Structure formats: structure tokens, C-alpha cells
Amino acid sequence: MASSVSAGEIEVTSWLDTDAPTAGYTYTINDNTPGRFTFDISVPQTDADILGIAFSTDGATEYTAGNLDLMNFSALARDGSTASAPTGTFFNSNDCGAGCNFNGVPVSPFDVILRIGSQGSPLSDWYYDVSFDIADLGLSLNDFVTVGIRGQSVFGEDSDKAYQEIPECPNALAGLTRDCPNGPPEVPEPASLGLFLMGMAGVGWGMRRQRKQ
């Protein structure tokens, strides 16, 4: 996969799940900020609570506590309050603390899992929109291979262990899009195309003259 950073975005809206049906999760990663990956994860406000956010890459450099460089963390709770830091950060794991795990998920363990809030807590700890950014370590979006969300229902005991594998460019899945670093060739502008056709016509006319002489 690519090892250089290129502009683009991964967006996942369709999920595999080992437990209850997922509740409209959206997970995006972009590299619009030089040297950083920016994440935004959201669920419908009335349906679910985010407990864990996970991802893995296949890059040459692995994320650790020393190089993740988590910044600009914000988690919005159902009562309108915000959290400015995750409850915990786990590396090369399928566990993210009490009531939060990805046991049974075939793509686990994940390289990184951020724990958001705690289980079974009040409105001030039910988070439905989380954003943050991390160092890119010289990786590109093409180096992401899996993402996951560990959620819980705030109105029952159902839980979600949502996960998805990220295809390489230019492949795509239903509910998953990727702005590929090396997209299709640009279509020539009309003026450029006209000049090209005129040039080709001139070459053809010259060749006909040479044959007649």
C-alpha cells in the first residue's frame, strides 16, 4: 500500500456486527491537515452510546503511547456536555475496559482503541459524536485496513461490536467510500482537447502530402 500522505477521506456507513444491529454509525478519517489524521465518529443521538473507537493500519510504523500524539479530542454527550479526553487508550488489543470489548470480532485485535466514557452511566456520559486527530507517522489513508466502534444501547441492554475492513483503492463497498490518492486520469478541458485534435489533424495532413510527393 501507499506510504506517502495524499489528500482524501475514508467514510464508513455500512458495518459488519457480531451483536445487535448497528444504529447508523458513521466513521470518517481524513488527511486534510498536514502530518495528521482527523477522525469523526457519530451515531444517532437517540439510539446509541459510543464506548470504544478502534482502528488498525498495515503501515511499517506501529502506533504506541509514545507516538500517537492525540490532540483536539472532543466527545459530545446527550445532555450537551463535552469530554476533552478519552477514558483510556489501548494498543494491540480487543479490550477497552469494563463493559467494552471487541471479543469475537474477526479483525481484532485492533492497533488502537480509544475508550469513551463508561458503561451504564447517565446522560452526561452517553456520547454520540466524537472527534480527534493523531499523528500520521508518514502513513497514508491507504494504510488503514480496519475500523471499529463499540457501542451500547442507552434504552436497553443491546450492544454493538461494529467493524469494517477498508478496501484498497480503487475498490469500494456499499456504504464505504474512499477518495483515492491516485484517482482516474483527468478529462482534458474542451480547449485543450480542441488543440490536441487540431494537432493530430495537422500531422495526418502532412503525412498525406509526403505520400503524394
pLDDT, residue 154, reads: 61
Q: Does residue 157 form part of some domain?
A: yes
Q: How many whole angstroms separate alpha carbon 108 and alpha carbon 19?
A: 15
| Whether residue 184 has pLDDT greater than 60 | no
pLDDT of residue 170: 45
Claim to verify: residue 50 and residue 150 sit in the same structural domain: yes
197 SS3 class: helix
Answer yes or no: is 36 within a domain. Answer: yes
Is the same domain home to 189 and 172? Answer: no
Query: 201 with 96, same domain?
Result: no
Counting every residue, how long is the chain? 213
Same domain, 42 and 146: yes
Number of domains in the chain: 2
Q: Verify that 204 and 124 share a domain, yes or no.
A: no
> Going by C-beta distance under 8 Å and a sequence separation of 6 or more, which residues neighbour residue 150?
50, 51, 52, 53, 54, 96, 100, 101, 102, 113, 159, 160, 161, 162
Within a domain: 1: no
Q: Average of pLDDT values for 19-38?
A: 84
Based on the fold, state whether residues 164 and 198 are members of the same structural domain: no
Instruction: Tell me what the mean pLDDT of segment 38-63 comes to.
Output: 87
Domain residue limits at 208: 185-213
| Residue 213 pLDDT | 55
In this structure, the answer to whether residues 80 and 113 fall within a common structural domain is: yes
Q: Kindly report, residue by residue over 76-104, the tens digit of the pLDDT.
A: 988 889 999 999 999 999 999 988 899 88
Confidence check: pLDDT of 35 > 60 = yes
Instruction: Look at residue 138 and tell me whether its pLDDT is greater than 90.
Output: yes
The pLDDT value recorded for residue 54 is: 97
Let me know: does 163 contact 2? Beta carbons within 8 Å: no
